[in-house]
Structure 1
Amino acid sequence: MTDPPPRSRLPLSRLLPTGNLAATLYGTILITSVIATLPPTIGPGYAIASLVVTAFIFALAHSWADGMKASFDEGVPLSVRHLLRTFRHEWPIVRSAFPSCLALLLAVAGLYSTATGFWVATIVNVLLLMLWGAEMRHLTGGTTLQIILAGLFSSVLGLILAALKVVVH
Structure 2
Amino acid sequence: MANHSAPPTAGTPLQRFLARPHVVVGGVYGAVLGSSMTAALTKEAAGDRRYDATWLLITAVVTAAAHGYAHLIATRAQRRIGAQAAVHTVVDEWPLTVGALPSVVLLFGAGVGWWGSRGIEYVTFAVNIVLLFGWGLFAARTGGRTWLSALFIGVGDALLGLVVVLANALVK
TM-score calculated relative to the size of structure 2 = 0.74
Pick from 59, 69, 76 the counterpart of residue 54 of structure 1.
Answer: 59
Deviation of 1:163 (Å)? 4.4
| Residue-by-residue CA offset, 1:95-142 (whole Å, 9 max, x unaligned) | 1111111212220232201x4222222111110110121232233343
- Measured after TM superposition, the shift of residue 94 of structure 1 is 0.9
Aligned equivalent of 1:150: 153
Q: Using the alignment, how far apart are the partners of 1:125 and 1:148 within structure 2?
A: 17
* Partner in structure 1 of residue 76 of structure 2: 71
* Deviations 1:29-72, CA, capped at 9 Å, x for gaps: 12221112224336111111111111111111111111122233
Equivalent residues in 2 for 1:152-167, closer than 5 Å: 152-160=155-163, 163=166
> Structure 2: which amino acid aligns with 1:27?
G
Identity fraction in percent: 26
1:21-60 mapped onto 2 (5 Å cutoff):
21-41=24-44, 43-60=48-65
2:121 to 106, 118, 138: 118
Q: CA deviation at 1:28?
A: 1.7
2:54 and 2:33 map into 1 onto residues whose CA distance is 14
Q: Which amino acid aligns with 1:22?
A: V
The one-letter code of the counterpart of 1:112 is G
Unaligned 5+ segments in structure 2 are 1-9
The alignment yields a C-alpha RMSD, in angstroms, of 3.1
1:3 maps to which residue?
A: none
Mean alpha-carbon deviation: is it higher for 127-136 or for 34-43? 34-43
Q: Quick check: 2:35–2:125 contact (8 Å CA) kept in 1? A: yes
Maintained 8 Å contact 1:129/1:154: yes
Assess, with a 3 A threshold, how the Cα gap between structure 1 residues 74 and 144 changes in structure 2: closer, same or farther: closer
* Preserved contact between residue 106 and residue 117 of structure 1 (Cα < 8 Å): no
Q: 1:74 to 1:150 in 2, by over 3 A?
A: same
Bigger CA radius of gyration: 1
2:26 and 2:49 map into 1 onto residues whose CA distance is 25
Distance 1:105 1:36 in 2: 15
Tell me if structure 2 keeps the 8 A contact 1:133–1:150: yes
Q: Kindly provide the amino acid, as one letter, of the partner of residue 135 in structure 2.
A: W
Cα pair 1:71 1:82 within 8 Å, conserved: no
Could you tell me which amino acid in structure 2 is paired with residue 33 of structure 1? S
Tell me which amino acid in the other structure corresponds to 1:102. Answer: V
